[in-house]
Amino acid sequence: MTTDIDARVRLARDIERGASVLSSRVVEAFLNVPRHPFVPAFYRWEDGAYRAQSAGGGAWLGSVYADEVLVTEVDDAPGAEVGGVATSSSTAPGLMAEMLDALDVRPGDRVLEVGTGTGYNAALLCHLAGAGNVTTVDRTAHLVEAARERLGADVAVVRADGVHGCPGGGPFDRVIATCSVRRIPRAWLDQCVTGGLIVAPIGNALGGGAVACLTKLPDGGAAGRFLHRPAAFMPLRADGNAAAVHDVPTGGRRRTSVVGARVLDDHGFSFWAGLRLPPAVVRVGGGTLHDPTDGSTAHVDDHPGRPSTVTTAGPRDLWQLVEAARTTWRRHHRPRREWFTLTIAPGGPQLVSYGAPGGGMTCCPL
């Protein structure tokens, strides 16, 4: 019979096989911290809805310890049997391991986590830094209450709007987010010590997210690079770019394009293209882009063996921006996300930059 210890050993091995070289301390954390107490229930997408999976048994335990994302709540309703919108999840352990490795947590480091969720990542941080050194914040009351019970009294589990970090807390040696943001909130920088590290997913409208690993600079800014692995996280609820889009207009002007909608499913390209689209643009469904600031919309229908059809509305053709991004991405030989840098000026812009091997620099504001 499979035990949770057996499952943890297999998970740790899978993490090591699927990642770049990891710190032995990070692997030990996954061996020592069980996942199943933090994921008593999860959901799978079946027949057009998220459906709760029955707990118990070897198959269930195997799923909990698989290296995959587990949806843990739907429609903001804890304990729901069926739902349509995922509102909380447990990140794939392999990605968690790479983020924790980049965070380089050492015993005694003061750590702030933004996005408590199930509490599993906070438990791993406790193993790395010591429970009394970890503060984790979440805006959802029932998630905070559940995490407090699972993590114990030594961990500071705070209900707060994550965009403000932990007001009155800190300073922290390490800051990590388990939710995506378009820009790094100023509070996270202010609450991090000089020389400290910030690891956070940067999301964009096209789903081409990437995890930034930044060092806090003496002038109050920060600089760093992106991890190589794509990362799609649920957005920070307070982030203005996370707002839902309704009543997207349909119809309009039609043309053809050799760039089809499926190009947006390429994580490398969607990261590049997302940097070149206006920050308010969102992807609605598979092949629709919408900018709520001026009502511009582009919808793309793919046709096997022939050019795609582009239908646009509003003052701008948003798909032209994607086509132009595709051209420059290929011209630069499809640069990888880990070749980009992110710099944050104190009180100023946040810029993603890429230096082409032949010279020249491409800079895009977040």
Active site residues: 89
- Strands across the sheet containing 288-291: 253-257, 306-313, 296-303, 288-291, 282-283
Supply φ then ψ for residue 250, to 5 degrees: -120, 170
Which own/partner pairs from 144-152 qualify as long-range (CB within 8 Å, at least 24 positions apart)? Answer: 144/116, 146/78, 146/118, 146/119, 147/116, 147/117, 147/118, 147/119, 147/122, 150/37, 150/38, 150/118, 150/119, 150/123, 151/119, 151/122, 151/123, 151/126
Residue 252 CA: distances (Å) to CA of 245, 300, 312? 19, 12, 5
| CB distance 69 to 209 below 8 Å | no
Torsion on CA atoms 226, 276, 91, 160, rounded to nearest 10: 100
Instruction: Give the pairing of strands 341-344 and 222-230.
Output: antiparallel
What's the token pair of residue 132?
Answer: 């009394």
Peptide bond into 93 cis (omega under 30): no
What's the token pair of residue 297?
Answer: 């919309």
What's the token pair of residue 218?
Answer: 């003496």
Quickly count: other Cβ atoms within 10 Å of residue 54's Cβ.
Answer: 8
DSSP letter (8 states) at residue 77: B
Q: Give me the amino acid identity at 26.
A: V
Residue with tokens 């984790």: 136
- CA-closest candidate to residue 145, choices 157, 135, 156, 133: 157
The Cα–Cα gap between 175 and 9 comes to 28
| CB distance 36 to 43 below 8 Å | no
